[in-house]
Amino acid sequence: MLKLKKNFGNKAIPHPLLQTYILLPRIVEKVRINPGNFADRKKFQEIEYTDQSYNDELERIHHRFSPLVKVCKEEGCALRIGSNHGSLSDRILSRYGDTPLGMVESAMEFIRICENYNYHEIILSMKSSNTRVMVQAYRLLVNKMHAEGMNYPLHLGVTEAGEGEDGRIKSAVGIGTLLEDGLGDTIRVSLTEEPEFEIPVAKELVKRYETRSGHDSINDIYKNPLYPYEYRKRESRQVMNIGGDNVSRVMVDLSLENEITRDTLNHLGYSYFEADDKWGIGDFACDYIFVNKKSVDFDIPGTLGIVQAYSVWIEEKKTNIYPFLDAKQYLDNPHLHPKLNFIYATLPELSADLLSQFKNDISAVLLIDTYNEHGMAEQRRLFMELMSENCQIPVIIGKAYSGLTPENLQLYSATDMGALLIDGLGDGVFLAAEGCGSLEQVNQTAFGILQASRTRISKTEYISCPSCGRTLFDLQETTALVRNRTSHLKGIKIGIMGCIVNGPGEMADADYGYVGTGVGKISLYRGQNVVQANLPMEEAVDALIDLMKEDGVWVEPEMVEAFF
Ligand code: SF4
């Protein structure tokens, strides 16, 4: 928020080069600087620094930055030091690499200068469009600040999160994970939509914490087996296609359906072709369906598994259906499926007997749930227990929601499950969502969470900027145009940026970039390099596709669906 000060200054400006920066604290309440480009330039060069030459650079930055610090202090103006993953300076990149540590050190260098002048009106941000990098950077920043006796507030954000469902889920995975950790003082949701659509999402993300303080207590942690600054997948044994090196699985709850037909599967990524008696399998084809006490009376696709209540399964013990048991049934019953059994448990049910049986059971998959209002923390505590006991049972993260709008389901579940997946916890997800939208919406939300936490890539990822005064085209329209032609490409990241000033830096993570360089002009990037400059806009999408064809990553849309 930009608030104009009443005492619009007419004081002399001490340094002509810093004219803009020095003027701002006299007329606004808060200024944001990006340490990646405040005093450094970014030329995508690798430069070798000795300790001496690095310290000389820090001296130079001190000289450039200190006039701003002094005037901020004098005017009572706050300062946001905002590191951005996409625009780290060549100097930082050469020393720390393109890493969360680089983002943190980039800010710390500037904070130390502020403290040198006894100036503390600081807020910090560590934004990235990569949710893992963003979460790790904020956590590391807090760690480094504690080590140096600092405790500045944090402004949270996922940059260029995109639009619609993808943008909301990605924002929730990044911002929500940190809010769950108790980190964050202000937040910004950056969607490629009209700005007024960002505020309700932000409000919804923080609203959940109004009543959180009274949640049921969770067992103390004596030894934390998690490492919060780096992605480390929890080791789990493979049980059929779950756990081990498999991608995270999606299980869909069909227990509330009146009946289960081929049409039901049409909403879950499968399409039945009657004439050929074949199933088409799309990118969002779920892996398991939980039918509870119901039956399925038609041949299902070979890639799909049916999970049925134990009390029904035990009647016929069908080998192509897998039982679902609670902890007591599991401990009491010797008659299990020889290959795969789903055992439902919450943290309070995780007894020593259960753990001991899990350790040796090569057919067991744990489906966890929680009734705690701070459910993520309780489920994370359960994972810690498994890790401390060296129990490698694969785990499906389950969570029940009811009566939410589809949009709130996206935000809540992406926060609750994303916060676990982003730390390498979990081998799949099970969203039991009653009255929260259609089956299709719930299934797509599950896949969206896996994509945003980078545990299963099933669609093209768009890193598009939120647009601003510099934007050189209608960003929403252009994103839709690019999306229409490329959304079938699995696992490719495309940056769509409104301007050449910040665009290339902001899309650090993208494989290809579509960047506005003038009115009606687009430049195409492969990674960080321009490959075609100033193309007429009407030719740019075709040229982008030609570029992908040249790189051998293009697939014709009609080739995408697989048949079984
Ligand atoms: S147009 Fe440029 S400056 Fe504006 S939001 Fe997009 S990338 Fe950032």
| pLDDT (tens digit per residue) in 486-506 | 988 888 999 999 888 878 877
Query: Using CA positions, which residue lies closest to atom 8 of ligand 1?
Result: 502
Q: Is the CB of 499 under 6 A from ligand 1?
A: yes
Rounded distance from Cα 154 to ligand 1 centre (Å):
22
pLDDT computed for residue 333 by the predictor:
82
Residue 403 — pLDDT band, cuts 50, 70, 90? Answer: very high
Task: Take residue 542 and report the two structure tokens written for it.
Answer: 């075709």
pLDDT bucket at 173, cuts 50 / 70 / 90:
very high
Q: What are phi and psi of 278, to 5 degrees?
A: -130, 155
Give the atom of ligand 1 at the shortest distance from the alpha carbon of 472.
Answer: 1
How many Å lie between the centroid of ligand 1 and the Cα of residue 470?
6
Residue 499 CA: which ligand 1 atom is closest? 2
The phi, psi pair for 256, rounded to 5°, reads: -95, 0
User: What pLDDT, on a 0 to 100 scale, did the predictor assign at position 20?
Assistant: 65
**Residue to probe by mutation, ligand 1, list 465, 473, 517, 522, most atoms within 8 Å of CB:** 465
- Whether the pLDDT of residue 142 is over 90: the answer is yes
For the segment 251-274, the average pLDDT, to the nearest whole number, is 95
**Average pLDDT of span 129-140:** 96
Residue minimizing CA distance to atom 3 of ligand 1: 502
| pLDDT for 138 beyond 90 | yes
**502 Cβ below 6 A of ligand 1:** yes
417 and 226 Cβ atoms separated by less than 8 Å: no
Q: What percent of the chain has pLDDT over 70?
A: 94
Q: What is the enclosing helix (H) or strand (E) of 52?
A: helix 51-75
Mean pLDDT of 359-381: 97
The answer to whether 541 touches 487, Cβ cutoff 8 Å, is no
Q: Which of 499, 507, 514, 515 to mutate to test the pocket of ligand 1 (most atoms within 8 A of CB)?
A: 499
Q: Which of 85, 471, 509 to probe ligand 1 with, by most ligand atoms within 8 A of CB? A: 471
Contact between residue 354 and residue 345 where contact means Cβ atoms under 8 Å apart: yes
**Ligand 1 centroid distance, CA of 109 (Å):** 26
Give 261-268 contacts, CB < 8 A, sequence gap 24+. Answer: 261/298, 262/298, 264/439, 265/289, 265/300, 265/301, 265/304, 267/438, 267/439, 267/440, 267/443, 268/439, 268/440, 268/443
Ligand 1, atom 2, lies closest to the CA of: 499
Q: Is ligand 1 within 6 A of the CB of residue 506?
A: yes
At residue 2, does pLDDT exceed 70?
no
Provide the pLDDT for residue 13: 42
pLDDT band with cut points at 50, 70 and 90 for residue 353 = very high
Which atom from ligand 1 is nearest to the alpha carbon of 498?
Answer: 1
Q: Which of 26-35, 106-115, 123-132, 441-450 has the lowest mean pLDDT?
A: 26-35
Cα 475 to ligand 1 centre (Å): 10
Of the CA atoms within 13 Å of residue 8, those in its CB half-sphere come to 2
| Ligand 1 pocket member 444 (CB < 6 A) | no
Contact yes or no for 465/498 (Cβ under 8 A)? yes
Instruction: Say how many residues make up the chain.
Output: 564
Question: Cα Rg for the chain, rounded, in angstroms?
Answer: 26
DSSP β-ladder status, 461-464 and 493-497:
parallel
Is residue 328 scored above 60 in pLDDT?
yes
Single out the residue of 123, 448, 388, 106 nearest to residue 234, CA to CA.
388
CA–CA dist 46, 91 (Å, integer)? 8
Check pocket membership of 470 for ligand 1, CB cut-off 6 A: yes
What is the reported pLDDT for 464? Answer: 83
Residue 564 banded pLDDT, cuts 50, 70, 90: very low
Interval between CA 63 and ligand 1 midpoint (Å): 29
The pLDDT value recorded for residue 384 is 98
| 156 CB within 6 A, ligand 1 | no
Angle between helix 352-360 and 375-388 (nearest 10): 60
Spatial separation of the C-alpha atoms in residues 35 and 91, rounded to whole Å: 11
Helix ranges (H only) for 229-321 are: 262-266, 310-316
Catalogue the E-assigned strands of 341-478. 341-345, 364-368, 395-402, 428-434, 461-464
Q: Are strands 278-281 and 270-273 parallel, antiparallel or unpaired?
A: antiparallel
355-378 as b/e, with b when 16 or more CB fall inside 10 Å?
bebbeebeebbbbbbbebebbbbb
Give per-residue pLDDT as tens, 416-432.
Answer: 999 999 999 999 999 99
pLDDT digits (tens, 9 = 90+) for 180-217: 999 999 999 999 888 899 999 999 999 999 888 889 99
**12-34 confidence digits (pLDDT tens):** 444 454 566 677 777 889 999 99
E strand map for 86-170:
122-127, 155-158
In whole angstroms, give the CA distance from residue 309 to residue 491: 35
Contact by Cβ (8 Å): 264, 543: no
Tokens of 274: 């009657």
At residue 252's C-alpha, the angle toward residues 405 and 453, to 5°, is: 75
Above 90 in pLDDT, residue 371? Answer: yes
Residue nearest to atom 7 of ligand 1 (CA): 503
Ligand 1 atom at minimum distance from 466 CA: 5
Mean pLDDT of 501-519: 85
86 lines ligand 1 (CB under 6 A): no
pTM: 0.88
| Average pLDDT for 356-368 | 97
